[in-house]
Amino acid sequence: MCTASNNTPRYSGQMSSGRPRATSRSTIAEAATELFLERGFAETTIADITQRAGVSRSSFFNYFSSKSAVLWAALDDAIRSAVEALRAGAAPSAALRAAAVDIQADSLALAIIHGSVMGLSDELADERAIRTGILSRAVSDSLVSTGMARLEADVHAAALSAAVFAAIWAWAASDAPRPALSGLVDRALGAAGASR
């Protein structure tokens, strides 16, 4: 990569993989996922990712807060949407279903499928638990605001949040072509006792 005198990245030509250089979030995520598969998560540096993607370090951090965030960004966006909808008064099942419609978590799906190859099994479990907790708390708060007692709200919220993540893991493990994630989330929420 060449840089102009004002330290603005200037790109020319093609990368070694044949992709044109770009600074999109999806290009960075694709490069990171390729490297995680080739080298493993721990052995891949942000410098490796930026070199493969053909972007600067600052461009990487414009899109992602960390190497791990590359895998979770799409799902985190969906969780934020669900939390915002819940705070705005949406029914929990509706907010969770709506959030699942827009998830395009191919990097996460690859990590789930190839977690042991990438050296990510423990990290995936930890990160899943954190996000399940965030979602569960938002659902519980929403239910409490409608008059449900905290204990019942916490139990119901935990079941709904766990259902969403079970659907995501089932979606990732599905054979190609994958079914729509929203359909699996709908089935999982139904199994957890969510009302429409």
122: Cβ contacts below 8 Å, ≥ 6 apart: none
Check: CB of residue 70 under 8 Å from CB of residue 35. Answer: no
Cis peptide before 177 (omega within 30 of 0): yes
Taking Cα atoms as reference points, which of 88, 90, 110, 123 lies closest to residue 171? Answer: 110
Residue with tokens 């899943």: 128
What gap in Å lies between CA 50 and CA 52, rounded to an integer?
5
Range scoring the smallest mean pLDDT among 12-16, 30-34, 117-121, 143-147: 12-16
Provide the pLDDT for residue 2: 40
- The pTM of the full predicted model, rounded to 2 decimals, is 0.79
Of the segments 1-15, 41-55, 106-120, 172-186, which one has the largest average pLDDT value?
41-55
39: Cβ contacts below 8 Å, ≥ 6 apart: 48
> Phi and psi of 15, rounded to 5°?
-80, 170
The mean pLDDT value of the chain amounts to 85
Question: Which tops the pLDDT comparison, 17 or 86?
Answer: 86
In single-letter form, the type of residue at position 48 comes to D
Residue 112: pLDDT above 70? yes
Question: 3-state DSSP call for residue 122?
Answer: helix
Taking Cα atoms as reference points, which of 81, 115, 112 lies closest to residue 95? Answer: 81
Provide the pLDDT for residue 102: 65
Provide the pLDDT for residue 23: 53
73: Cβ contacts below 8 Å, ≥ 6 apart: 25, 29, 63, 64, 107
